Amino acid sequence: MIIKRKRQFKAEVSTSSLNDIMFFLLLFFLIVSSLANPNVIKLLLPNSKSAQNLNKQQISISITKDKKFFIDNRQISFTDIEPILKERIASLKEPTVILRFESSLSIQDLVDVLEIGNRLQVKMVLATNKKAG
């Protein structure tokens, strides 16, 4: 005698691979978002009422609150700023140096870097955040 069991069909949604997909999407967006912002040195810039965009060839000098100096995301010492900057501007037609200067630093620190630009006769521009309102 053959006994048949009734098997009912139950619809299921397999979500085991969903975790993998979400992980890869998160990883993809994290990598893309870090590539979208090339200036990864986090600084609190001073505020200004107006903003101006520059379209010239730029060199970025960043100074953090603990007085670490960076030229285009490469950390250097203060004494190396002038020779490296001189080497970089030699190959550019109209170089512009963008100073990304932490707002908590003293004015003397800013003047020290501006004097280097004055000696090299290069245009220096201080980067600021646009003041809201």
Determine, yes or no, domain membership for 39. Answer: no
Q: In which domain, by residue range, is 88 found?
A: 47-130
Determine, yes or no, domain membership for 77. Answer: yes
CATH number at residue 78: 3.30.420.270
Helix (H, G, I), strand (E, B) or coil at 93: coil
Please report, in tens digits, the pLDDT of each residue of the chain (133 residues total). Answer: 677 777 777 777 777 788 888 999 999 888 877 666 555 566 666 777 766 655 556 888 889 889 899 988 889 998 998 999 888 888 887 788 888 888 888 889 888 988 988 898 888 888 877 776 5
Determine, yes or no, domain membership for 99. Answer: yes
Written as six digits, the tokens of 101 are 């200067």
Q: Which of 126, 85, 83 is nearest to 107 (CA)?
A: 126
- What pTM was estimated for this model as a whole? 0.57
Determine, yes or no, domain membership for 8. Answer: no
Determine, yes or no, domain membership for 65. Answer: yes
Determine, yes or no, domain membership for 35. Answer: no
Determine, yes or no, domain membership for 91. Answer: yes
Contact 74, 38 (CB under 8 A): no
Rounded-to-integer distance, Cα 27 and Cα 96, Å: 36
